[in-house]
Structure 1
Amino acid sequence: MTRPTDLLPEGLEDRLPASAARITTAMRACLDVLHRHGYERVRPPLLEFERSLASRMQGIRTQAMFRFVDPASLRTLALRSDITPQVGRIAATSMKAAPRPLRLAYCGETALIRASQLDPARERLQLGAELVGADTIAAASEIAMVAIEALQAAGLTGISVDFTLPDLVDTLAERDGDTDPDQIEAIRRELDTKDAGGLRDAGGEAYLPLLYAAGPFDRALADLRAFDAGGALGTRLDGLEAIAARIAAVHGDAVRLTLDPTERYGFEYQTWFGFTLYAEGLRGAAGRGGTYRIGGSEEAATGFSLYVDHLAEAAPEAERGRAIYLPLGHDVEAAARLRAEGWRTLAQLGEGEDAAALGCTHVLEGAGVKELEQDR
């Protein structure tokens, strides 16, 4: 019977053994990919001064974070909701003198005061990579392709990448000489909701073609080039085409490429390039990435983030491995040898235990292993 005191807050949940094993397996697979590509892992603290977190990335809202006063310093602390700003701080301070480009990886828990309707979880395991000191096609391509490889290593299939241009409206407004910030924000809002009527009412009729320049990458890119008669987007569109070509050269039709140039959800601090990752069997996005500037140093960087506990929902079930039951008085040296060979062992603690019910497939007899008879 569940007591009221046993209930968890909304958006938080226990991960039982099968789910926890699936998350751990996916996490290790992703981190192995980052390690093989030269990304070195850092571990920022769970808490930081609120002001520090807010200053490292444009668009970071500390109101979405749990905050409280540090009794030691009497300054406001914040429980991180995103690890990327912390990696930016590390790159700009402790590793300021490290050779560039700097490749860093991370994995850790994050928390939100409120979750979105699209993703009700308030605690997430964030894993990612940041490539600091490069704002090039090569850097953006590497990050996107490493992110795809990480998802594949975690066992996800049917992967698709949706490109976007986070600063698109700003670029077009600058081209057209629009300086009214309220109108520009209204145009962004109507583009976000894909509302043609609202876009006209906001004075953004010239932006209407952007609502339809979305879908399969090649067609959407052609529509964007036709819209960009003055060439203000030329460099950005050439960059997207080059990145897509590199992904297609490696993955062919195995990875689907799409383009939605006005998508801004989840791109609070990205600059000219952004992408969202999707996978078969997964509700919502598997992860996001793009280019940005580190606040304070203004150094260019490119990165991606995956939420492992979410993407693990579509990952294959983790293998439990072979398990051997160790009876009372068993040969401890034989048991140690079996563990070194990769077996799992469960030692008997008392009379009346059921080895099969405990998940064992074998039993140690002397120095040998015997398979348990399973109920048919």
Structure 2
Amino acid sequence: MEMTVVDRWLLPEGVEELLPAQARQVEAIRRQLLDLYRGWGYQLVIPPLVEFTDALLIGMGRDIDVNSVKVTDELTGRMMAIRPDITAQAARIDAHSLCSDDVTRLCYAGSVLHTKPKSLMASRSPIQVGAELYGEASVAADIEVVSLMVETLHSLGIADITLDFGHVAIFRTLADQAGLSEEEETELFEVLQRKAADEIASVINRCIDDAVLGEQMLALSKLQGDVSVLHRAANLFAGAAPGIIEAIDELQRVAEKIQGRYPSLNLYFDLTELRGYHYHTGLVFGAYAPGCGYAVANGGRYDDIGRVFGRARPATGFTTELKSLLNLATSVEVDGDIIFAPYREDAEQWKQVQQLRSQNQIVICGLPEQNVNAECTHILVDDDGRWSIESID
């Protein structure tokens, strides 16, 4: 079929371009956040856009695999994937490229590509920014990462935030104790994520023979709400496996510290919130803002993912997406005045223009027959060798 003019500029569904005004704001947010992370000691890394699938996707779970766009490397014949997430790349850099035994803090910002959007209005080509902390297994590392995620949103003027906490170890421990097969665990996991009460009870009755474990799993499905959920969970699992008790204790410690640092935050707990379940190992968390039906930032602990790269390391981190933040940010530092210099073949004017640019001013040099650009706010004026900048009314 012959390609029409429309076909030539039509972008794939869910893939968009950023025009100058939006691009300027997104770049301002990117710089602002990377400077914030640098202030916390997080070092910037820039992983490649494409890698071999056995390095990029291994250990990340099936949901990441199916959301990856794959291509064949013409040089080797091996399968490659355009990254759908940067977390695994940061883990590879920590485990293999840096190979330090010390605590390592890394941050990044770059485009990723998904086969399908994560939600109805989501982009298939988001710009992901995030921070990861490696080499520290204590809850103190989780508290730092959650705090940095909060600071990320606060720095952009997003103040009315609800933090949603969960812990995958509770469900995973109960599933292991119940001896669920991989298929049964997956089925139960899926109905728990849908919060389908009747289906949850049906799957538990069919798959879990131990009455006590069945009751605990059913009770787990109802543990959602404010901090009182943790007290209910502590009572419910008082005699449960140590891993469950430790998970509840971690949630309580994180909640106490975060609430102390940020008293105005809303804290919500959902012990069946298992985002990233296939590779997360502990605390998971997300941040929600008014008017958004999705988490504007999320993260969690994913210990030992570096094992597939030859070195297991404790790990925790979070990610967010710049395009999504653009619609929520209220305090973004963008370019201010733009000065127009009318076209002149004049060495003195050129010196003035360069001096202004050296002072971080934006100066657009006019071309022959060009009028003042619409975006310009000021004009460079020469009054018998005396240069001044005048406002454009």
Q: Structure 1 length as normaliser, TM-score?
A: 0.91
Whether 1:40 and 2:43 are equivalent positions in the alignment is: yes
Change (3 A) 1:367 1:106: farther
Aligned residues: 369
2:81 and 2:335 map into 1 onto residues whose CA distance is 38
Change (3 A) 1:167 1:238: closer
Residue in 1 aligned with 2:134?
132
Residue in 2 aligned with 1:181?
182
> Would the aligned equivalents of 2:15 and 2:123 in 1 still touch at CA under 8 Å?
yes
Residue in 2 aligned with 1:364?
381
Please report how far the alpha carbon of residue 213 of structure 1 lies from its aligned counterpart in structure 2 after TM superposition: 1.4
* Partner SS, residue 310 of structure 1: helix
Residue in 2 aligned with 1:64?
67
> Would the aligned equivalents of 1:42 and 1:105 in 2 still touch at CA under 8 Å?
yes
Q: Deviations over 1:155-206 (max 9, x none)?
A: 322122111112322211334x433333332222221111111111112552
1:8 and 1:222 map into 2 onto residues whose CA distance is 51
> Would the aligned equivalents of 2:380 and 2:389 in 1 still touch at CA under 8 Å?
yes
Aligned counterpart for 1:338 among listed residues 350, 356, 364: 356
Change (3 A) 1:3 1:57: closer
Residue in 1 aligned with 2:327?
313
Please report how far the alpha carbon of residue 267 of structure 1 lies from its aligned counterpart in structure 2 after TM superposition: 4.2
Residue in 1 aligned with 2:116?
114
1:291 and 1:200 map into 2 onto residues whose CA distance is 29
1:277 and 1:118 map into 2 onto residues whose CA distance is 19
Please report how far the alpha carbon of residue 142 of structure 1 lies from its aligned counterpart in structure 2 after TM superposition: 0.7
Aligned counterpart for 1:234 among listed residues 245, 253, 277: 245
Whether 1:20 and 2:23 are equivalent positions in the alignment is: yes
Whether 1:224 and 2:225 are equivalent positions in the alignment is: no
Please report how far the alpha carbon of residue 60 of structure 1 lies from its aligned counterpart in structure 2 after TM superposition: 5.7
Please report how far the alpha carbon of residue 289 of structure 1 lies from its aligned counterpart in structure 2 after TM superposition: 0.8
Please report how far the alpha carbon of residue 226 of structure 1 lies from its aligned counterpart in structure 2 after TM superposition: 2.8
> Would the aligned equivalents of 1:160 and 1:257 in 2 still touch at CA under 8 Å?
yes
> Would the aligned equivalents of 1:30 and 1:151 in 2 still touch at CA under 8 Å?
no
Q: Does 316-325 or 148-157 show the bigger shift?
A: 316-325
* Partner SS, residue 98 of structure 2: coil
> Would the aligned equivalents of 1:22 and 1:315 in 2 still touch at CA under 8 Å?
no
Aligned counterpart for 1:257 among listed residues 240, 260, 267: 267
Whether 1:3 and 2:6 are equivalent positions in the alignment is: yes
Change (3 A) 1:312 1:152: same
Please report how far the alpha carbon of residue 52 of structure 1 lies from its aligned counterpart in structure 2 after TM superposition: 1.1
Change (3 A) 1:367 1:84: farther
CA-based RMSD of the aligned residues comes to: 2.1
1:192 and 1:361 map into 2 onto residues whose CA distance is 55
Q: Structure 2 length as normaliser, TM-score?
A: 0.87
Residue in 1 aligned with 2:202?
201
> Would the aligned equivalents of 1:54 and 1:60 in 2 still touch at CA under 8 Å?
no
